[in-house]
Amino acid sequence: MVAVASVVVAVGTATGMMSALDDGSGAEAAKPEVSSSPRLDQLPVEPSVSATVTKSPAVRPSPTKKADPSPTRTPEKKQRPAPAPASARLYLHPESHVLDWVRAHPTDPRTPLIESRIADRPAAVWFADFTPATITARVREVTSDAAGQGRVPVLVAYAIPDRDCGGASQGGAPDLDAYDGWIDDFAAGLGSGEVVVVLEPDSVAQAECLSDDQRADRFASLARAGRVLKSADPKARVYYDAGHSGWNTAAAQAGMLKQAGAASPASSDGIFSNVSNFHTTSDEIAYDRQVLDDLGGPSSLGAVIDTSRNGNGAPPEGDWCDPAGRKLGRAPTLNTGEARIDAYLWVKLPGESDGCQGAPGTFSPSYAYDLAR
């Protein structure tokens, strides 16, 4: 089976997301003091299937290539559209490429459909640039606005060193010490309300590009990151990278996730999958449950699935770059009705290009319209 990594292409913040948490707001937590984490021992998983890794295809454009979810900017407050009722508790960020386009093209015949089916839906807010001086304030701006509305934002932390193994979304912090400091600053902006953090797409599933020592160091840093985030805001929910159902086997992915701290409730609330990819929700549900079973840990661990573009499933031949014939998946919701599946989220904003219908991360109205209709 041909496996394809998700495509991420990101560089900034983008738009906002989920819950299974209590309402909350309040004072910001002080920057936590969490020591650097010793490497977690490579604890064996008791797999129900072969632990052999089924790698993504030889040419893997960048696993979770998050298309530049809306460049980092601190915009003036603008009127924000009301999210769809099913997503009433998820936060909709007032700035994104799709909202910019809708506001600038009120008479375009495609605008009503794009606005109602994409722009009005809450999506994740990306923090994909290494900016230690401003990251706390930018995170705080989102979490404070969400708390004021009684909604839950979804934040994507995306600054791990070598985050795309030299692919289209290369970048991130210069080294793990710098990354640890960036995470401390990120956590300082969380406040004390509900928030969901999608921690470093591709960081676990794509770690085979690293040496054994580099991988162990990365996993130790990810485990530390989860502890820092949850220490800073006890209402924060942190999810770790499980790739997707067409990539690594569940057992192999669970083995890496355990080393990265995803089985520990001190670091983790579970896993995420299908970010920027197209695999069907049913395939992801089955895969995520198997990963969670193989991972072990408390039964409270769950999964969130990116359903932003998976309405028609994955394209043939492993095509990942703005493939034709795709459509929107299930609307973002916190009520999945599925055991151990905490939410369906739009982590990647539909219509933001992977790099074929426009520059990576730019908004393509033609692609958005095709997805929406």
Q: Is 233 a catalytic residue?
A: no
Helix or strand run (H / E) with residue 367: helix 365-372
Active-site entry in 185, 269, 306, 354: 354
Tokens 């770059």 correspond to what residue?
Answer: 321
Active-site entry in 184, 202, 241, 322: 202
Reference 343, options 333, 352, 358, 353; nearest CA is 333
Angle between helices 176-188 and 135-149 (to 10 degrees): 30
Q: Is 354 a catalytic residue?
A: yes
pLDDT on residue 39: 38
**One-letter amino acid identity for 107?**
T
**Would you say 255 and 51 are in contact if contact means Cβ atoms under 8 Å apart?**
yes
Q: Give the whole-angstrom CA distance, residue 1 versus residue 246.
A: 8
> In terms of DSSP H, where are the helices of 167-280?
176-188, 212-232, 250-259
pLDDT on residue 87: 52
Angle between helices 281-295 and 250-259 (to 10 degrees): 50
pLDDT on residue 85: 38
Helix or strand run (H / E) with residue 156: strand 154-157
The rounded Cα 208 to chain-centroid distance in angstroms is: 20
Q: Give the whole-angstrom CA distance, residue 49 versus residue 41.
A: 22
Q: Is 164 a catalytic residue?
A: yes
pLDDT on residue 351: 96
Active-site entry in 164, 180, 233, 322: 164
Mean pLDDT by 10 residues, the chain (373 residues): 47 38 34 39 29 30 41 38 52 95 98 98 96 98 97 97 78 95 98 97 95 97 98 98 97 98 98 97 98 97 98 89 96 95 97 90 95 96
Q: Give the whole-angstrom CA distance, residue 87 versus residue 127.
A: 22
Reference 7, options 326, 254, 236; nearest CA is 326
